[in-house]
Structure 1
């Protein structure tokens, strides 16, 4: 540090100038670390928010017979720049104890220029992920993850044995069969009691999926009645504990039951068919009437609102044909079912060849 005898203020000035230079040039050292801490979470949340809007847009679009469009983000490049500068100037007098003048300064400039790459899902990838029925071995193990079995089956399954779920394009009887929803409710009560589970077994012919129903002797009469009713609705022998679930209309003799799952597009279509749209849209032929409900059902699996004032904090929202559609932030059941839809879509896309989103964040100073 330069010093001038008899000029203590000059010495202090140079010290301050050196400190300013050090701060400006070293500010970028922890910059990359801070970016990683903040942007990893922020970009992840932004991707989730975009995925929710895309899914809701497809649900509403399919309600009006528009094709589903899937445009996932395949890459995010977060480019940053940080520039620092410092300067110092002094004017010294040769007379002892004469006043000295000087100035110090510095600045830091920061800029971010993110680049997003979108890769449309088309061809075989689209067919595999969205058009083909979901495999039972992909859907049913979610029960073991705690997903409510009634929500899962209502979303992803079209029929179990002879019991039919609702179907928007099946004409006047599109509400489904009473037994299907009775089965779902009984299975949910058994799941809450810990009496139903899914088991996946590998074999040379492919994965086999089994539904186990075991109700101990000390269980309540209601639990035993639910187990008996489930076996009756599935037409398996009384007392059966392991029921093999096969895709399609299977030979249901013994302890096997056939199940027909929906494709992702089929699932989104059925969710959209439950949206209460303006009556004039139905009258004009722009869309079909809302799917009816049986007395055993309490509500649509996902309630999508339209008309009125959309809240600022909606869980998911889109605008379609100058109308707002949204899911309420305070509707936990709808939000949870929507998250199950997102999970099923992610599982359906898992085998496609397109890369998963990559976020590149330069960490250098």
Structure 2
């Protein structure tokens, strides 16, 4: 009887080939594909939680609770994909033989270790963000950048040259001066015409220089410009004005803007939340103040926040608090645009140097 056996070197050669393949492609990071995935998904989550945190803190003010803010200071995503293939073979030199045997084993592992750092808003940064009034220069820079002047001034100012805005805050509740809404409408018409421009430049201390630039002004715009100067009691032919923070101007060439802080803006919005009646009756939430009579479309709530026991199906932003859902309707464009503008203002309120993020050591796998 003649027996034929495979040479043992055949199994060794095969093992070497597979081992080489494993060494080349066995362990590697996800590479560019992870950037395409992570950047979009992390960005969506950060934007969504930013809206929810702001909405929740506004609701808390209605209930007399302290707002808490956590900034995401850094996001470090570390991921890796590992694979391994093992090959084993054995043969027998004796006779009779049970035959050759081979073993193949493949393993894989995916690792994702995101490192997210949170920075609580407190101390000096809390004061800058929430308690300090917005800079008049920053407010007018937004207008210069193209934001609607009427919406900006209605949300951010208490008064301009002694002409007062409406307030729904329990501590400052009052109707708007008769000429404040006229001022908003007139300024909006001037902005849309693009016949009058302005330039803002630092002047020293907290004051800024406000330059009014004319470009072949038609009669209707000239009339509106004259009306604005009359309402604010400005010098009729002054083209350079001083922009400053204050209640009343020091001269007829000064625009004194009494701006709100972010906490004041939040209090204005919190006062008009549609809180559950049972919470108000039980004393858990502040009752809605006796608001001044609404005489203009401008008297509508800045942001309409609704409440319900069931989670809304179509919401722009929603949070759960005290066994109720508080939300902004996704079909309410006025409330959505105002809320988005509040988020922009919240970023603008940071006037100092941002604190350094904590130093984090991440393994390089």
Relative to the length of structure 1, the TM-score reads 0.81
Give the whole-Å Cα distance in 2 for the aligned partners of 1:226 and 1:282.
45
Deviations 1:217-259 (A, max 9, x none): 4x363x3443232222212233544443221123353222211
Following superposition, the deviation at residue 101 of structure 1 comes to 6.6
Counterpart for residue 162 of structure 1: 162
Q: Structure 1 residue 88: deviation in Å?
A: 2.0
Task: Work out the CA distance in 1 between the residues paired with 2:188 and 2:113.
Answer: 49
Aligned to 1:278: 276
Shift of 1:271: 1.7
Instruction: Give 1:206 shift.
Output: 4.6
2: CA distance, partners of 1:74 / 1:205: 31
The count of residues paired between Structure 1 and Structure 2 equals 355
Q: How does 1:23-62 map to 2 (within 5 A)?
A: 24-25=25-26, 28=28, 30-62=29-61
Check if 1:232 corresponds to 2:230.
yes
Deviation at 1:200, TM superposition (A): 2.0
2:328 aligned with 1:330: no
Closer, same or farther: CA 113–11 of 1 in aligned 2, 3 Å: closer
Change in 2 beyond 3 A, CA 1:274/1:355: farther
Aligned-pair CA distance for 1:110: 1.0
Residue equivalent to 2:111: 111
Work out which structure has the larger RCO, using CA pairs closer than 8 Å and 6 or more positions apart in sequence: 1
C-alpha distance in 2 between matches for 1:240 and 1:176: 27
Report 1:48-197 matches (<5 A): 48-90=47-89, 102=102, 104-169=104-169, 174-197=174-197
Instruction: Note the C-alpha offset of 1:52.
Output: 1.4
Please state how far the C-alpha of 1:92 moved relative to its aligned partner: 6.6
Per-residue CA deviations over 1:173-224 (Å, capped at 9, x if unaligned) read: 534223222212221222122245442222343551416374734x363x34
- 336-345 vs 164-173, greater mean Cα deviation: 164-173
Tell me the TM-score normalized by structure 2: 0.81
Which moves more between the two structures, 112-121 or 99-108? Answer: 99-108
- Following superposition, the deviation at residue 270 of structure 1 comes to 0.8
Quote the residue 2:96 is aligned against.
none
Post-superposition CA distance 1:332-351 (Å, at most 9, x none): 33222222211211122241
Deviation at 1:362, TM superposition (A): 5.9
Q: CA deviation at 1:10?
A: 7.0
Contact 1:78 1:362 survives alignment (8 Å): no
Runs of 5+ consecutive residues of structure 1 not aligned to the other structure: none
1:17 equivalent in alignment to 2:18: yes
Pairwise CA distance, 1:296 = 3.7
1:314: Cα distance to partner? 2.6
**Cα separation, partners in 2 of 1:177 and 1:296, compared to 1, 3 Å:** farther
1:343 aligns with 2:348: no
1:215–1:185: structure 2 CA closer, same or farther, 3 Å change rule?
Answer: farther
Question: Per the alignment, in what secondary structure is the counterpart of residue 349 of structure 1?
Answer: coil
Aligned residue in 1 for 2:317 = 316
Cα displacement (A) at 1:129: 2.0
Residue 107 of structure 1 aligns to a residue in which SS? strand
- Aligned-partner Cα distance in 2 for 1:345–1:135: 12
Does the Cα contact within 8 Å between 1:140 and 1:198 map onto a contact in 2?
no
Q: 1:298 to 1:171 in 2, by over 3 A?
A: closer
**Matched residues in 2 for 1:252 and 1:187: separation?**
22
Report the structure number with the largest CA radius of gyration: 2
